[in-house]
Amino acid sequence: MTDKKIYLTREGLEELKSELDDLINVKRPANIISIKEARALGDLSENADYDSAKNEQAEIEGRIKRLEKMLENVEIIENVSTDKVSIGSTVSIKYVDDDDTDEYKIVGSQEADPFMSKISNESPIAKAILNKKVGDIVEVESPNGVYKIEITEIK
């Protein structure tokens, strides 16, 4: 099985490392204490605190494994070109049909945050504009149908 590359900015990489550190050094030890305390209460078959702590442990360990796997496959986004759209580019676009404009930063799927105008390289708009240049008009296939956008600036 080939591992999928995880595209991250330096900030995104630091956030993942910080989350992993918090899980390993803060949440995991706190959860171990919770399990010990719940176990000390006696009968485990009807111990809601114990069940809850064990469920939390499963979530923590699962997230740690996912983060470690992601970090093994990280590719840092740097040296972004302004000649053509690439992952890491900030792109201004104009919707051809209604002259609305938007600006998006294209990031890897782990960092995507539409509310902060960060879109995944796997999104319909990003797929349509990757490797295109200023002035190019492209068609975007979306669940609501096809529409056209023009690339007006690449930063």
Q: Which two tokens stand for residue 80?
A: 């972004």
Residue 70: per-residue pLDDT: 93
* Distance separating alpha carbons of residues 31 and 26, to the nearest angstrom: 9
Q: Which two tokens stand for residue 9?
A: 């900015």
Task: Give all strands (DSSP E) within the chain, no chain letters.
Answer: 6-8, 74-76, 90-95, 101-107, 118-120, 137-142, 145-154
Question: Which is nearest to 110 in space by CA: 140, 67, 81?
Answer: 67
Q: Report whether pLDDT(35) > 50.
A: yes
CA atoms within 13 A on the CB side of 135: 1
Q: Which two tokens stand for residue 1?
A: 């099985």
Query: What does the pLDDT look like over 44-101, one tens digit per residue?
Result: 778 889 999 999 999 999 999 999 999 999 999 987 888 999 999 999 999 998 989 9
Residue 3: per-residue pLDDT: 75
Q: What are the chain's domains?
A: 6-76 (1.10.287.180), 90-154 (3.10.50.30)
Q: Which two tokens stand for residue 61?
A: 């360990």
Residue 113: per-residue pLDDT: 94
Q: What percent of the chain shows pLDDT beyond 90?
A: 78
Q: State how far Cα 101 lies from the chain centre.
A: 24
Residue 42: per-residue pLDDT: 78
Q: Report whether pLDDT(2) > 90.
A: no
Residue 1: per-residue pLDDT: 42
Question: Which is nearest to 123 in space by CA: 111, 136, 135, 137?
Answer: 111
* Distance separating alpha carbons of residues 136 and 12, to the nearest angstrom: 29
Residue 72: per-residue pLDDT: 95
CA atoms within 13 A on the CB side of 119: 21
Across the chain, mean pLDDT equals: 93
Please give the average per-residue pLDDT across 13-42, as a whole number. 95
Residue 80: per-residue pLDDT: 81
Q: What percent of the chain shows pLDDT beyond 70?
A: 99
Residue 44: per-residue pLDDT: 78
